[in-house]
Structure 1
Amino acid sequence: MSEDIPRTDQEIDARGLNCPLPILRTKKALAGLESGQVLAVLTTDPHADRDFQAFCQQTGNALLAQQTRGDDVRVHYVRRR
């Protein structure tokens, strides 16, 4: 995973939601994107890093980066397969 900020095609806000809701919203958003497009997902769930790693490994989507934005917000960059 790169620590550079990838160019994104869409961003969704899943702050305040706990597993599995950020992943479910990600899955729905990815379905609306074309192959190769990048989705940024904002989360505050402390377990989201592991959840997104497992989700991408299981689905074949690429997890490009996971970064901290602000105090408690993590951003997960997912490229649709």
Structure 2
Amino acid sequence: MTVNLENQYDVILDAREDRCPMPLLKAKMALSKMAKGECLCVKTCDAGSLKDIPQYVALVGFSLLSTSEDSNVYTFVIQKS
């Protein structure tokens, strides 16, 4: 499964109001409910997520398809594998 250019994801998690460690915890919870191959888009304003989310994704063996920043909003696209 790939992410298409229209930014259609299986699950979108808006954690922009949450602070560490909540964006990571909410991402873990969302991923636990998703099927293999599905994509999660996480949006957060917590700068700690720049370290936490990629480390978690690598640890569990999922794919971090993209990471971006726009106006202090960090967006992560994770594919569950």
Aligned residues: 77
Normalised TM-score (structure 1): 0.84
Once the two structures are TM-superposed, the CA of residue 47 in structure 1 deviates from its matched residue by 1.8
Once the two structures are TM-superposed, the CA of residue 76 in structure 1 deviates from its matched residue by 0.5
Residue 80 of structure 2 aligns with an amino acid whose one-letter code is R
Q: What RMSD in Å do the two structures reach over aligned CA positions?
A: 1.7
**Aligned match of 2:75:** 75
**Which secondary structure does the structure 2 equivalent of 1:45 belong to?**
coil
Residue 51 (1) aligns with residue 52 (2): yes
Unaligned runs of 5+ in 1: none
Residue 42 (1) aligns with residue 43 (2): yes
Residue 27 of structure 1 aligns with an amino acid whose one-letter code is K
Once the two structures are TM-superposed, the CA of residue 74 in structure 1 deviates from its matched residue by 0.9
1:25-40 aligned within 5 A: 25-40=26-41
Once the two structures are TM-superposed, the CA of residue 7 in structure 1 deviates from its matched residue by 4.0
CA distance in 1, matches of 2:13, 2:48: 18
Q: Percent identity?
A: 27
CA distance in 1, matches of 2:26, 2:48: 16
Once the two structures are TM-superposed, the CA of residue 48 in structure 1 deviates from its matched residue by 1.0
CA distance in 1, matches of 2:47, 2:21: 12
Unaligned runs of 5+ in 2: none
